[in-house]
A = this chain, B = another copy of it.
Amino acid sequence: MRIAVFCSGSGTNLEAMVNAQKRGDIKAEIALVVSDVAGCFALKRAEKAGIKALVVERKKFSSGKEFESEILKSLQKEKVDLVVLAGYMRLLSADFIKEYRNKILNIHPALLPSFKGTHGIKDALEYGVKITGPTVHFVTEDMDAGPIILQSAVTVAEDDTEETLAESIHKEEHKIYPRAVQLFIEGRLKIEGSRVRIL
């Protein structure tokens, strides 16, 4: 099985995947890193790990469709079976999702369905929840609403800032995201309606 990891930033979840693969906790090839941001740190991590990396910048294409079709072409060329979004800051179109139906995973830094959107950590902290944590889910057309694969609970400490809370959540992300990927690889994720049964 061949995996593509999509990144836009520092790529700490990519790093977690690479490490899990080295340890043998992910039994598949990370065949490709795709980034929409030239020069982002995730690309350096890919280079260091010897993973083929592809930069596809939206501004180089006249439409979102052409932009995505360039990415899809590369995925097909690399025979990618699973797309792992790891801090990829761009929404995928319905057409793209259709091409990889139930084969795209994402991680969100809050316990979905709470605190959807791009500020899951800040929003949870400001709301005042005492428990939060990351969610790995299948990507569907509705943002942050796809079937949930794994979640992990993180206790909000009294003196947590957005930074310290983010650190605690990311630590859990780096545990559950590789685990979810390996469950996918083993064919143990069965989607039943909005629920995921782990076989």
Contacts and interface: CB of A to CB of B under 8 A. Distances in A.
Interface in A122-154: 126-131, 133, 147-153
Interface in A167-199: 193-198
A133 B158 CA distance: 19
Given A113-B114, A114-B114, A197 B158 contact: yes
A111 interface: yes
This chain: copies in complex: 2
Nearest to A130: B151
B131 A196 contact: no
B114 A131 contact: no
A112 interface: yes
Interface of A: 111-114, 126-131, 133, 147-153, 155, 158, 193-198
Q: 5 smallest A-B Cβ distances: which pairs?
A: A128-B195, A153-B153, A130-B151, A131-B151, A114-B114
Given A111-B129, A114-B114, A158-B197, 12 more contacts: A111-B114, A111-B131, A126-B195, A127-B148, A127-B195, A129-B148, A130-B149, A130-B150, A130-B151, A131-B151, A131-B153, A158-B198
